[in-house]
Amino acid sequence: MSVLNRYRTNWPRVGAVIAMGSAGALAIGHRRMSKPQLLSALNMLALLVHQYEEYEDPGYFPGQFNGGIFHSDQPDHYPLNTNTALIINVPLAYTFYALPVAFPKKRWLGIAPVLFGFGQAVGHGAVFNLLAKDRYSPGFLASLLLHVPIGITYLHALRDDAPIEQADWKKGRLYTIAFTVSSVASPNLLLRDKNSPYRFTAKQLGRHTNGA
């Protein structure tokens, strides 16, 4: 198995290790960061936890997405497959969450992941599980316990520094929409392939093995 294929299978686990190492680094070096910048970094670590919950433990979000929501007759690889999941969750999502850490003065860059995290809480807390007729959607706990409180605290930290301007809210909302369309919806549409060799495991399908 090639290095890329190994990573395609194990990127959520790698992300979990990165989260643990980064948390330790933040504990040591957080005094060098502004509070909004630190909270943006914590929000990125929350993303890694969120992804682990979706794809590893309990890990059946791919099956819920393909089989439960889209009623695919090939839920192990259509419309979402492991290659698309890697592209969305690693280079695209990592960049989206890392930019406000790298450029903390661009407030709208930090507002966008916060708004996206709030949307994740709604999606995993109500929309996805209702559509799939499941009791739970993997990713909800990470959204509720991490993205939401971190996001609220981030917005308070911004306001403590200076009032949030309407322009930042507008740019943040537009950036959130642009990311959702370009980096979540579009890859799913453009990379869907009924003959894809990049398939999820039985564990990642959960009960949705036949699009049920």
- Of 124, 127, 136, whose CA–CA distance to 207 is shortest? 136
What pLDDT was estimated at residue 211? 59
Give the tens place of pLDDT for each residue, 41-84.
999 999 999 999 999 999 999 999 999 999 999 999 999 999 99
Rounded to an integer, what distance in angstroms lies between the CA atom of residue 17 and that of residue 52? 10
Mean pLDDT value across the chain: 97
**Which of residues 76 and 209 earns the better pLDDT score?**
76
CB 83 within 8 A of CB 140: no
71-128: per-residue pLDDT in tens?
999 999 999 999 999 999 999 999 999 999 999 999 999 999 999 999 999 999 999 9
pLDDT tens for 181-191 read 999 999 999 99
